Amino acid sequence: MRIRAFRKQDAPSVSSLIRRCLRTVNSKNYPPRVISFMCAHFTPKKLIENAAKRKVVVAVEGNLIAGTASVKDNVILTVFVDPRVHGKRIGTRLMQRVESIAKRQGYKSVKLPSSLTAVEFYKRLGYKGTVRKHEKNYGTTILMRKRL
């Protein structure tokens, strides 16, 4: 498995991966309307637009995209790993990559809005929850922070 920069041609595969995660994993913690909103949000076009504003990486295993993560300044966003390959440290490696990008840019800490689904994963990586936030479209998130 290797991690590389996102390419425009990755957008359909990454969109499909994110939607699979939302429907099979995040749906355990969020109502259908939030999942539908999020699925509609992560279109290939929107992912390409996001990639123009932040650093986006993908984990590639064979010819398949197994995960993605992004960072804008010191904010980590859009971290998803294909549920079919959970437990293979792909998420950890993606997080290490985006954390190192932020560190190279001179940041001493990173923060992220965690889904309820991912809070324990981020805690294992050293993140601390700071604020619980609820938004109609995105549901409940936990703002988390980690010193680099």
The one-character DSSP state at 54 is: S
Residue 15 maps to a domain: yes
Contact 34/46 with Cβ under 8 angstroms?
A: no
Q: Which residues pair with 60 in a beta bridge?
A: 2, 65
Contact 65/53 with Cβ under 8 angstroms?
A: no
Which pTM does this prediction carry? 0.94
Residue 110 maps to a domain: no
Residue 109 maps to a domain: no
- Please tell me the total count of domains within the chain: 1
Q: What is d(CA 61, CA 2) in angstroms, rounded to the nearest whole number?
A: 7
The string over 83-98, giving b where at least 16 C-beta atoms fall within 10 Å of a residue's C-beta and e elsewhere, is eebeebebbebbbebb
Residue 47 maps to a domain: yes
Q: What pLDDT shows up at residue 34?
A: 96
**Could you tell me the two tokens for 23?**
């429907």
Residue 40 maps to a domain: yes
Residue 23 maps to a domain: yes
CATH number at residue 47: 3.40.630.30
What range defines the domain where residue 64 resides?
2-104
Q: What pLDDT shows up at residue 63?
A: 86
pLDDT (tens, 9 = 90+) of the chain, 148 residues, equals: 999 999 999 999 999 999 999 999 999 999 999 999 999 999 999 999 999 999 999 999 988 999 999 999 999 999 999 999 999 999 999 999 999 999 999 999 999 999 999 999 999 999 998 899 999 888 999 999 999 9
Residue 123 maps to a domain: no
Residue 68 maps to a domain: yes
